[in-house]
Homo-oligomer: A and B are copies of this chain.
Amino acid sequence: MNPKREKIFNAAVKKFSEKGTTGTTMKEISQEAGVGKGTLYRYFEDKEDLVSSLMSYGFERLTEVIKREIEGIESATDKIKKVVEVQLEFYKKHCDFCRFLTREFWGYKNKFEENIKEIRSDYTVVIEGIIEEGIEENEFKAKDPEVAAVSLIGMVNLTALHWFMFKGEVAVDKIREEVIDIFLSGMLN
């Protein structure tokens, strides 16, 4: 990627996470990025485009990493374990981005809405695929793979964010163990 575009992305993530997209001004982003205000508009149509490009970019990176990491893993159970781990690591590393994402994803009508939905769908579908596979192989017993996939994402997403917001850091190991255990074996003794 163009290095200046990347500089802008990094500055935007930081600011958006701290103050929200609407609470952040283009001027602040340009200052954080160390470029002129006008330069933002050379790389992005407008603020909306910057926000949605950033969201797409992040989702794509996350989906990419997950796809790459589960490659070669055989059982659906092991794949799920890896997915949880990779996601938590991603959240820990890019917690600014993840806060931004959680906040802005459930967004309101904007010109890029469809585009975003598609990207997010990609990400959900990967996890859904693993669950379907597990069902076929008789490893898993879920009736509705979509509910199961979104549930898993929800568990990881909210616990990670909860830790980040209330304790200051994502406790990857602790969360991973517990989440995997609950998701795979349930709470019942």
Contacts and interface: CB of A to CB of B under 8 A. Distances in A.
A82 to B, nearest CB: 15
A157 B141 CA distance: 22
- Interface centre among A124, A148, A161, by most chain B C-beta atoms within 10 angstroms, is A148
A159 B23 CA distance: 28
Interface residues of A, number: 55
A38 interface: no
A174 interface: yes
A79 to B, nearest CB: 12
A158 B159 contact: no
Interface in A144-189: 144, 147-148, 150-151, 153-159, 161-162, 165-166, 174-175, 177-179, 181-189
A138 B189 contact: yes
A128 to B, nearest CB: 11
Interface stretch (A26-34, A63-71, A100-108): A100-108
A53 interface: no
A158 B157 contact: yes
A35 interface: no
Nearest to A80: B187
Given A77-B188, A155-B155, A161 B19 contact: no
Interface string A96-121: 00010011101111000000010000
B147 A158 contact: no
B182 A186 contact: yes
A19 B113 CA distance: 13
A119 to B, nearest CB: 13
A22 interface: yes
Given A19-B108, A108-B18, A143 B187 contact: no
